[in-house]
Amino acid sequence: MKVETLRWSHNQLEMIDQRILPAAFEYVSYDSASSVAEGIRSMVVRGAPAIGVAAAYGVALEALRLQSESMADFNIGMDAGFSTLAASRPTAVNLFWALARMRGVWESVAEQSSATVAQRLLAEAHEVLAEDIRINKAMGAYGAALLPDGARVLTHCNAGALATAGWGTALGVFRSAVEAGKNISVIADETRPFLQGARLTAWEMVQENIPVTLITDNMAGYMMAQGEVDAVVVGTDRVAANGDVANKIGTYMVAVLARRHDIPFYVACPLSTIDMSIASGASIPIEERSEDEVKGFRETHWAAEGVTIRNPAFDVTPAELVTGLITERGVILCPDAPKLRELFR
Ligand SMILES: CSC[C@H]1O[C@H](OP(=O)(O)O)[C@H](O)[C@@H]1O
């Protein structure tokens, strides 16, 4: 089953509305930077690589929208569009990686007509999407080699086709392992409060007939203690230069439990998610989302009225708890600063 998380159709960007999966499968259309930024902020689209692809198209859409303006108004409007997209969510570095890439392309053709600039930016957005799938498949092959036949692999949140352009990082490893003929099975924890695991990972694996078992977040330790988990593979939103990993809230707990039970903990991580400008995880901005997400789920609330609520959307797993980073250039065991610097030579 091919999942087109984002697609270009009739000169607009269409994105699967991940807020309503799996109950409903609908695309939402976007025609400007500001509308794409709202789609990112409200998590119509989510997942670091998918956010990067969406931002790239957001820039292209803004250029198409402004291409009939004067050059001065075009440039002012484009700068505003970049700022709006950059403010949509703070943690996934792919957003800022994509914006920097698109700005570089804009600057390279800045003297051309606005129409030419718009077409060049659209071409780059298409390439960002196509490249994401190629990179995910390369990572998948390296990651699949780590999983023995019959492996039972726990994953947290959704690092699948829905978090990328269509193959997945952590779930891309599972897809590649199955393609390689391995009978792996997936244990997906539900991932409160947005339920990416119960709603998105479970849906992706069921759609593809990859065996998947849903557990609540607080069952991970029990499953490991029962000897029912052979490995953990998760995605990431930002890896610092020392190998510290920011990922969905709850990942740190899973990593600590994996270490306690001597279970390998892998992070599927495209190079676009590594931020060498940040020395350690302590400097990774952690998004605090609405308390409404914690009160219950959507319209059903169960928390006591008046209770104080926290909702950090990510946490940081220290590098020493990471068995290996699975990248498109291979697996980096025991990631540290020298090894990460080597990736970018
Ligand atoms: C392949 S990166 C997916 C990554 O993004 C998720 O966060 P969110 O759903 O809030 O965008 C989560 O951290 C996943 O691991």
195 lines ligand 1 (CB under 6 A): no
| Predicted local distance difference test score (pLDDT) of residue 143 | 98
CA gap 34, 57 in Å, rounded? 11
| Per-residue pLDDT at 210 exceeds 90 | yes
Check if 6-136 and 146-343 are the same fold.
Answer: no
CA gap 211, 229 in Å, rounded? 14
Asked if omega into 270 is within 30° of 0 (cis), the reply is: no
| Per-residue pLDDT at 47 exceeds 80 | yes
**In the CATH scheme, what architecture does the domain 6-136 have?**
Up-down Bundle (1.20)
Summarize the confidence of residues 327-335 as an average pLDDT.
Answer: 96
Q: What tokens appear for 86 in the block?
A: 């950059």
| Predicted local distance difference test score (pLDDT) of residue 105 | 98
| Predicted local distance difference test score (pLDDT) of residue 288 | 98
| Per-residue pLDDT at 1 exceeds 90 | no
Pick the CATH number of 146-343 from 3.40.50.10470, 3.40.640.10, 3.40.30.10, 3.40.50.2000: 3.40.50.10470
238 lines ligand 1 (CB under 6 A): no
CA gap 278, 258 in Å, rounded? 26
Q: pLDDT confidence of 222, banded at 50, 70, 90?
A: very high
Q: Residue 46, annotated ligand binder? A: yes
Look over the chain and give the mean of its residue pLDDT values, rounded to a whole number.
97
| Predicted local distance difference test score (pLDDT) of residue 2 | 84
- This model of the complex carries an ipTM of 0.97
275 lines ligand 1 (CB under 6 A): no
The rounded percent of the chain whose pLDDT value lies above 70 is 100
CA of 227 to the centre of ligand 1 (A): 27
- Residue whose Cα lies nearest atom 7 of ligand 1: it is 47
Active site members: 237
Summarize the confidence of residues 214-236 as an average pLDDT.
Answer: 98
Atom of ligand 1 nearest to the CA of 196: 9
pTM over 0.95: yes
| Backbone angles phi and psi of 293, in degrees to 5 | -65, -20
Summarize the confidence of residues 122-147 as an average pLDDT.
Answer: 98
4 by Cβ neighbours in 10 Å (0-12 / 13-18 / 19+) ranks as: middle
For 296-312, b where at least 16 C-beta lie within 10 A, e where not — what string?
Answer: ebeeeeeeeeeeeeebe
- The full 3-state SS of 49-111, as one line of letters, equals HHHHHHHHHHHHHHHHHHCCCCHHHHHHHHHHHHHHHHCCCCCCHHHHHHHHHHHHHHHHCCC
Summarize the confidence of residues 9-32 as an average pLDDT.
Answer: 98
Q: Are 339 and 328 in contact (CB under 8 A)?
A: no
User: Residue ranges per domain, the chain?
Assistant: 6-136, 146-343
Summarize the confidence of residues 248-259 as an average pLDDT.
Answer: 98
Q: Which residue has the tokens 């209770």?
A: 307
Asked if omega into 148 is within 30° of 0 (cis), the reply is: no
| Per-residue pLDDT at 265 exceeds 80 | yes
| Predicted local distance difference test score (pLDDT) of residue 9 | 97
Run of H or E including 342: helix 337-343
